[in-house]
Amino acid sequence: MQRRTFVSMATGATMGFALQPGVLASEQEPKDPVPYPDPAVEVVDPRFAKYHIISAAVERLFTGARWAEGPVWIGDGGYLIFSDIPNNRMLRWLEETGEVTVFRSPSNYSNGNSRDRVGRLLTCEHDTRRVTRTEYDGTVSVLMDSFQGKKLNAPNDLVVHSDGAIWFSDPGYGIMSNYEGHKAAFELPANVYRLDPNTRVATVVASDLEKPNGLCFSPDEKLLYIVDSAVPKHPGAPIPIRVYDVVDGVRLTNGRMFVNMSPGTSDGIRCDVDGNVWSAAGWAGKDFNGVHVFAPDGTLIGKIHLPETCANLCFGGTKRNRLFMTASQSLYALYVGTEGVPMA
């Protein structure tokens, strides 16, 4: 079955999981006007000017979540899926109408989402402590829920390599309380894994981060960026986004600091086609909240200021030039002068 068929089914039947079909929000609701250029978009370095569309504004598309996360663009269907972790649901924003409806409930306290190379939805689930794949007919397959006989902690975010392998982080936030999953004991270190979805063989590719979180490949897949969102043990210690060399598409080497996000932290990250890293940012006051954009050399070149802490982001829209941002209770979007690296 081709991806087009899968997405057609998903659009029509919400993949069989939309238990509450009522519209939660619509883009037809009145919005306050924004002056151009939008003061929420800050050019920190001249290199960012080419990515700043002066006649585009930050738009709040939805509010009403408790902690919005895991956006993934489903271009074949013209919609965005994102997680509302504490409310144990996944939501769907439809580009054509601006409507937001429940996509899946319960969602097993889902967090990060992505797509595999044939368009199937991949999801990190906190409550069940597993990585799943939604098949073309809407059924859910478990790809991985344990490693060497021990349960995963609570998979957080994931990215798919061009060879089809799934790379995901497992920091365990979902078992640290009953708010985003259920409280439970850690059975494994906080690792980053590479999973071959065909053989189901998994390997640890990074074990040197305390709380590995968001991750993304550079456009040529020679680099992997990984966020460490752990609270520093010592005052003044860095809160890093690290970068690694990818060897033969299967292992990492030469891990080092890419940027220090202190005094705040990053969460989800994505690369654009020019190799810039777009990072969610928060937890350091209102001037820090939003998205920070870094050039490939690690220089901060731009900021998108949001009134809420940003958790994650992705590129989408018809031309992959619309940045979607899940931020605390809301979903935001901004047209930008670049495109995201194709995810599938």
Residue 170 labeled ligand binder: no
- Measured at the alpha carbon of residue 304, what is the angle toward residues 299 and 308, in degrees to the nearest 5? 125
The β-bridge partners of 328 are none
Q: Is the Cβ–Cβ distance between 252 and 205 less than 8 Å? A: yes
Q: CA 112, CA 105: separation in Å to the nearest integer? A: 15
Q: CA 59, CA 331: separation in Å to the nearest integer? A: 9
DSSP assignment of 137-148: TS-EEEEESEET
Q: How many residues does the chain have?
A: 344
Name the pairing type of β-strands 100-104 and 89-94.
Answer: antiparallel
Q: How far is CA 244 from the centre of its chain?
A: 19
Which residue in the list 38, 84, 228, 267 is annotated as catalytic? 267
Q: Is 267 one of the catalytic residues?
A: yes
- Measured at the alpha carbon of residue 165, what is the angle toward residues 342 and 269, in degrees to the nearest 5? 50
From the list 46, 41, 61, the residue with the least C-alpha distance to 291 is: 41
Residue 267 labeled ligand binder: yes
**Eight-state DSSP code of residue 25:** B
Q: CA 124, CA 114: separation in Å to the nearest integer? A: 9
Establish whether the linkage from the previous residue to 240 is cis, with ω within 30° of 0.
no
Q: CA 121, CA 75: separation in Å to the nearest integer? A: 12
Residues making up the annotated binding site are 69, 156, 213, 267
Residues making up the annotated binding site for a divalent metal cation are 69, 213, 267
The residues carrying an active-site annotation are 267
